[in-house]
């Protein structure tokens, strides 16, 4: 059996503002240790309660938050324990995809709170955890054998305005082939382009993603490239798109390459 230690620490803070608006911000850090899986999730929950709040209602909200957190931990535990089967490190991938979204409006029975808005942010350590688990590895996901590589490009703000240059990733090796990624700033005006460059014939389907540092569900994902002789294909992304969410956070761009090894 897998031994699993789950540590949950949560910090709650309540801020009373004008007009009977109450904000509560909650930081939750959840660390799971098992013999085969280690991961850390850090989420910030910020919700705004509008309307008249009594102490009793606030207590109720806290109870609901607690229940939700416990329910999420239940899901994590289930994933770790499976049906008594061994958990492979690859299972992390599914776990990550589920994403700790706290859903649904709270129940309003006997409750004068008129509206609740709730946002959940993951800190960028989420992306870091994904990189630490999957970078430069081969794993099976939904029956597909995948190679995954992450390229982090620092000081991206000073790179994007450049013209007539390209940037190369470090070389990496897949099935004995030497590959690298290239980034072309201003390939078209205000478009960057990404390309997979094998040093020898290597005809596998592949796709790129530009990671949102905070929310894996909003990564910019390319179409699937590949097939014989199609390596000239460049994936072009407009700069405007990169501004839409947290793709350039901390002056870093993170590109994920996925190669479909069975293709």
Ligand X SMILES: *[C@@H]1O[C@H](CO)[C@@H](O)[C@H](O)[C@H]1NC(C)=O
135 binds ligand X (CB under 6 A): yes
7 binds ligand X (CB under 6 A): yes
Answer for which of 89, 125, 186, 246 binds ligand X (CB under 6 A) is 125
5 binds ligand X (CB under 6 A): yes
From 15-23, 39-47, 63-71, 155-163, span contacting ligand X (CB under 6 A): 39-47
Q: How far is the CB of 258 from ligand X (least distance, A)?
A: 13
Size of interface with ligand X, in residues (CB under 6 A): 17
Q: How far is the CB of 132 from ligand X (least distance, A)?
A: 8
Q: Euclidean distance between the first and final Cα of the chain, in Å? A: 36
Q: How far is the CB of 131 from ligand X (least distance, A)?
A: 5
Answer for which of 48, 123, 186, 246 binds ligand X (CB under 6 A) is 123
25 binds ligand X (CB under 6 A): no
42 binds ligand X (CB under 6 A): yes
Contacts to ligand X by CB under 6 A: 5, 7, 27, 29, 33, 38, 40, 42, 44, 123, 125, 131, 135-136, 150, 152, 170
């Amino acid at each position: 059996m897998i031994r699993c230690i789950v540590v949950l620490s949560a910090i709650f803070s309540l801020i009373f503002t004008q007009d009977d608006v109450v904000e509560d911000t909650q930081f939750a850090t959840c660390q799971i240790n098992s013999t085969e899986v280690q991961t850390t999730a850090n989420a910030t929950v910020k919700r705004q309660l509008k309307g008249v709040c009594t102490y009793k209602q606030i207590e109720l909200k806290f109870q609901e938050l607690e229940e939700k957190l416990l329910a999420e931990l239940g899901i994590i535990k289930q994933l770790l324990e499976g049906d008594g089967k061994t958990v492979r490190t690859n299972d992390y991938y599914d776990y990550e995809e589920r994403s700790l979204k706290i859903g649904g409006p709270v129940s309003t029975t006997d409750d004068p709170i008129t509206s609740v808005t709730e946002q959940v942010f993951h800190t960028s350590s989420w992306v870091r955890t994904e990189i630490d688990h999957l970078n430069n590895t081969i794993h099976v996901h939904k029956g597909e054998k995948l190679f995954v590589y992450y390229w982090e490009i620092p000081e991206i703000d000073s790179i994007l305005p450049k013209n007539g240059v390209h940037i190369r990733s470090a070389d990496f090796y897949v099935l004995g082939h030497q590959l690298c990624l290239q980034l072309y700033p201003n390939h078209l005006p205000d478009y960057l382009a990404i390309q997979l460059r094998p040093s020898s014939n290597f005809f596998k389907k592949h796709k790129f993603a530009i990671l949102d540092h905070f929310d894996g569900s909003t990564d910019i994902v390319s179409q699937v490239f590949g097939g014989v002789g199609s390596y000239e294909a460049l994936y072009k992304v407009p700069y405007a798109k990169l501004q839409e969410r947290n793709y350039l956070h901390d002056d870093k761009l993170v590109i994920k390459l996925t190669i479909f090894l069975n293709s």
